[in-house]
Amino acid sequence: MSSIEVTRIDTPQAMADALRVRTRVFVEEQGVPVDLEVDAYDADPATHERAGVVHVIARLDREAIGTARLLLDGHGTHEPALAHIGRVAVLAEHRRRGVGAALMLALHNEARRRGFGGIAISAQLHAVPFYEGLGYLAEGPVYLEAGIEHRAMELRFGA
């Protein structure tokens, strides 16, 4: 039985694999315009650290099946600041198998290691129960982002 492997993206090929996953999920499946989906945080992996972002990719038998990113610019007025996780994408045929949770936990660990007090996310409304299962709490009203209903959520790390 194969297991899911989550690793940090550090090569142009791995970044291209992650962008293919995101294109399938966000652009093709959900109709998000590509110019809203891909941004400056998706540049050459050699510049990610300087750009304040960590990307991870999930693979099953070397096939890219999921990806997510951690923005390190700090959100909110909390001390310590909150990191932000976004662009969490898992291919439809691999959902509900722990891939999303594995991606999130890898980025939680990275944020903790860097001294953040927790995570802020902008969750698609349908995914709120998934994030609640990881300990996130919804805050504020539902809002539109890229034409999709979202809700702000936060997870605070324990002491």
CA atoms of 154 and 151, how far apart (whole Å): 10
Radius of gyration of the chain, Cα coordinates, nearest whole angstrom: 15
pTM of the model: 0.91
Highest mean pLDDT among 27-41, 42-56, 63-77, 116-130: 116-130
The CATH number of 4-117 is 3.40.630.30
CA atoms of 36 and 62, how far apart (whole Å): 28
pLDDT digits (tens, 9 = 90+) for 36-62: 898 888 887 777 666 789 999 999 999
CA atoms of 43 and 94, how far apart (whole Å): 26
Q: Which two tokens mark 61?
A: 């038998």
CA atoms of 74 and 120, how far apart (whole Å): 9
Does the CA dihedral 142-33-91-73 come out positive or negative? Answer: negative
pLDDT digits (tens, 9 = 90+) for 73-97: 865 556 678 999 999 999 999 999 9
